[in-house]
Amino acid sequence: MDNLHHDAKITASELACLWTQYLNDSLSRCILRYFINHVKDQNINEVLQYALELAENHLEKIKQFLTQEDYPIPIGFTNEDVTVDAPPLFTDTCMIVYLQIMAIHGLTRYSGAVGLSVREDQRTYFIKCNTETMELYNKATNVLVQKGIMSRPPALNNKQKIDFVKEQNFLRGWFGKHRPINAIEISGAFLNMQKTLIKIVLELGFSQVAQSKDVRDYMERSRKLCEKHFNILTSMLEEDNLQAPRTFESEVTDSTVPPFSDKLMMYHVAALLSAAIGYYGEALSMCQRRDLSADYARMITEMALLAEDGANLLIDKGWMEQPPAAADRQGLAKNK
């Protein structure tokens, strides 16, 4: 892995994975440095320190790959995007919950990157990233469980037996009596609820400290939609007397001093909203009840419109860094 010399040029897919990871890890470095400056719990601090070490190592490795391939290093997010000494905006509890959810995002990204990589050095690198992030998830989850913060998914206490579906009303859900939600559908709803919760917390905190009215308004709009979606997901479980995860809005302090730039906060929330479309889509693909599928389809549409507006705001503010792109052949031909 240390030998970066390869005859085969890096592919567009591999470049996309490296470029996106650089932006995300440069953002993570800013947030983690701020968290570490304020965290009080030693166990949580140790996990934050481990996460920061991973982010910094990844950034250095990506710089090596891109330099070797003669590609420019993205700007991403720098010291100008964080004020480490700003008052705490989130509690220790919020920090460790945030870290666990971000580890889930990382596992999704790195697993996808492995599947998109052809060159051996790229495959080896992303497999290592995946292994490291699994360890980060494990560390964060251990702390959440030990401190009683973790909301466990519902357990099924009724007697189960092996059987096969015999009637098409297994799929029914719009009219009349429908069957109870099954374990696969519970899994999708609960994961999306956990991920929605951290978006709500970020949107609430960021709306307090954003300097631009446009950004504040967007955070409020995002929070209201995420709360609506959380309630829809909650209803999927509560209809069958299954519990929803605890919420964390109370873990946001009353600080109005911005620890992060508006650019960082907008990018972070817009990226999480875009990622939610994929997680909703996965849950939709596993739904076997029509009413639940319809809920996910509607939420995907609403989230896509909101994410697009976020991208437009980033562009309007000059904050969206353009990914590497193919050559504009028509433009080159016209310039002759």
Q: What is the pLDDT of residues 101-120, one digit of tens each?
A: 999 999 999 999 999 999 99
Quick check: 85 pLDDT over 90?
yes
- Quote the radius of gyration of the chain (alpha carbons, Å): 22
As a whole number of angstroms, the distance between CA 16 and CA 12 comes to: 6
pTM assigned to the model: 0.90
Backbone region of residue 327 per phi and psi (left: phi > 0; alpha: psi in -120 to 50; beta: other values): beta
Residues with Cβ within 8 Å of 69's Cβ and at least 6 positions away in sequence, in order, are 9, 10, 15
Quick check: 6 pLDDT over 50?
no
pLDDT of residue 164: 60
pLDDT of residue 325: 79
Backbone region of residue 70 per phi and psi (left: phi > 0; alpha: psi in -120 to 50; beta: other values): left
Cβ pair 95, 45 in contact under 8 A: no
Cβ pair 95, 205 in contact under 8 A: no
- What average pLDDT is seen over the chain? 91
Coil/strand/helix, residue 82: strand
Q: Cα-flanking dihedrals φ and ψ of residue 67, to 5°?
A: -65, -40
Q: Could you tell me which of 148, 155, 149 has the C-alpha nearest to residue 242?
A: 155
Please give the structure tokens belonging to residue 136: 């980060």
Q: Which residues pair with 260 in a beta bridge?
A: 82
- Residue 190 vs residue 179, higher pLDDT: 190
As a whole number of angstroms, the distance between CA 174 and CA 276 comes to: 25
Q: How confident is the model at residue 165 (pLDDT cuts 50, 70, 90)?
A: low
Q: Which residues pair with 51 in a beta bridge?
A: none
Q: How far is CA 117 from CA 16, 127, 295, in A?
A: 10, 10, 34
pLDDT of residue 122: 96
**Sign of the four-CA dihedral 291, 297, 301, 302:** positive
Would you call 326 exposed, middle or buried from its count of C-beta atoms within 10 A (0-12, 13-18, 19+)?
exposed
